[in-house]
């Protein structure tokens, strides 16, 4: 049935029964629908705590700031405790809540203690963002054994330790979400970065294993694969090799590197209830860098 509309194109008010007093008749008209508030800041992480490794700078810092802005309480850990505390102070100065702790992810004991500290925050440990990662750009032939072990320890083994302790805590609370930061180097081999690529590829399969083994605990695990992102690390490379930034941009369909917030937002999406049916996913956030390849001849035809 087609609804009849009044002169202003709105549905006509149903006429009130004739025996009602005039005030009641006026009240019988349906109220104008109120426009939905759209300027209310999202608070979808209210009541939740998260552990963030390497939260003192770059992508980890951006995740911490956004998580707190949306009502959550992050435990910001970093090898550099000063940096972790500075991010915590930044959040508190903006009216949010956070905690900070010096944690070197090469140390299994420190990781275990940080998981316990995050679980002791109000709401308990709901989310784990494994962000810590380093790159030592060398071929396998030129890389020392110590360097290899260091890259694997920070990028991959640290995630084994944090997940090992976070999973029982999340299970006790009925579930949780894990977001592991891999890289496009975990999807495609990055030349001269054997240890980095191997570790980041390992992160992807570790994440998918977590998804397989702990879906039944209502724990979701997803990997995010950033492309080139402006952080202290990349800015360091670009200082050493000043054409590096524009060369990197040229490889990317969007012709620029990401800002850390552009990685933090999809990372938070994966952790949020909006992604409630997403687990074991590998989300590339790379400005299209791994979308395809270019045949130079075709550009000239």
Ligand X SMILES: NC(=O)c1ccc[n+]([C@@H]2O[C@H](COP(=O)([O-])OP(=O)(O)OC[C@H]3O[C@@H](n4cnc5c(N)ncnc54)[C@H](O)[C@@H]3O)[C@@H](O)[C@H]2O)c1
Residue 282 β-bridge partners: 223
Q: DSSP label at 154? A: I
Residue 4 Cβ, how far from ligand X at the closest point, in Å? 59
Could you say which of 49, 50, 52, 54 contacts ligand X (CB under 6 A)? 54
Could you say which of 70, 97, 106, 192 contacts ligand X (CB under 6 A)? 106
User: Which residue is listed with tokens 């005030």?
Assistant: 23
Residue 133 Cβ, how far from ligand X at the closest point, in Å? 2
Under the binding rule (CB under 6 A), the answer on residue 181 touching ligand X is: yes
Token readout for 281 is 């996913």
Closer to ligand X by CB, 173 or 192: give it: 192
Residue 275's nearest CA partner among 45, 36, 41, 37 is 45
User: Which residue is listed with tokens 């609370």?
Assistant: 173
**In angstroms, rounded to a whole number, what is the distance separating the alpha carbons of residues 229 and 58?**
9
Residue 13 Cβ, how far from ligand X at the closest point, in Å? 58
Could you say which of 157, 197, 222, 228 contacts ligand X (CB under 6 A)? 228
Secondary structure (3-state) at 171: helix
Could you say which of 25, 192, 233, 256 contacts ligand X (CB under 6 A)? 233
Under the binding rule (CB under 6 A), the answer on residue 57 touching ligand X is: yes
**Residue numbers 144-173 binding ligand X by CB under 6 A:** 154
Token readout for 224 is 């995010």
Could you say which of 49, 52, 59, 126 contacts ligand X (CB under 6 A)? 59
Q: CA 144, 149, 153: angle at the middle one, nearest 5?
A: 155
Under the binding rule (CB under 6 A), the answer on residue 80 touching ligand X is: yes
* Annotation says 196 is catalytic: yes
CA-to-CA dists, residue 32 to 4, 6, 136, angstroms: 16, 13, 63
User: Any idea which residues carry the catalytic annotation?
Assistant: 196
Q: Where does this chain bind ligand X (CB under 6 A)?
A: 53-54, 56-60, 78-80, 83, 103-106, 131-134, 154, 181, 183, 226, 228-229, 231-234
């Amino acid at each position: 049935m087609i609804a009849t509309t009044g002169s202003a194109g709105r549905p006509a008010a149903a006429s009130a029964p004739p025996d009602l007093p005039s005030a009641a008749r006026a009240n019988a008209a349906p109220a104008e629908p109120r426009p939905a508030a759209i300027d209310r800041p999202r608070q979808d992480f209210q009541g939740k705590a998260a552990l963030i490794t390497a939260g003192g700078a770059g992508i980890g810092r951006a995740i911490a700031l956004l998580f707190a802005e949306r009502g959550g309480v992050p435990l910001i850990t970093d090898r550099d405790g000063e940096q972790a505390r500075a991010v915590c102070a930044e959040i508190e100065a903006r009216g949010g809540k956070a905690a900070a702790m010096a944690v070197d992810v090469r140390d299994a004991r420190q990781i275990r203690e940080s998981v316990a500290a995050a679980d002791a925050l109000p709401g308990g440990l709901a989310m784990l963002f494994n962000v810590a990662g380093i790159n030592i750009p060398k071929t396998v032939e030129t890389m020392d054994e110590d360097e290899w072990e260091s890259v694997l320890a920070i990028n991959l083994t640290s995630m084994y330790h944090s997940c090992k302790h976070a999973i029982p805590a999340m299970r006790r609370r009925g579930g949780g979400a894990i977001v592991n930061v891999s890289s496009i180097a975990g999807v495609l081999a990055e030349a001269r970065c054997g240890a980095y690529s191997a570790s980041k590829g390992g992160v992807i399969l570790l994440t998918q294993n977590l998804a397989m083994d702990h879906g039944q605990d209502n724990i979701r695990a997803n990997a995010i694969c950033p492309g080139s992102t402006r952080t202290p690390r990349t800015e360091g490379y670009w200082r050493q090799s000043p054409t590096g930034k524009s060369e990197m941009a040229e490889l990317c369909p969007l012709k620029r590197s990401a800002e850390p917030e552009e990685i933090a937002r999809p990372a938070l999406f994966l952790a949020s209830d909006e992604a409630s049916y997403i687990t074991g996913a590998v989300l590339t956030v790379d400005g299209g860098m791994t979308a395809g390849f270019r045949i130079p001849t075709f550009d000239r035809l």
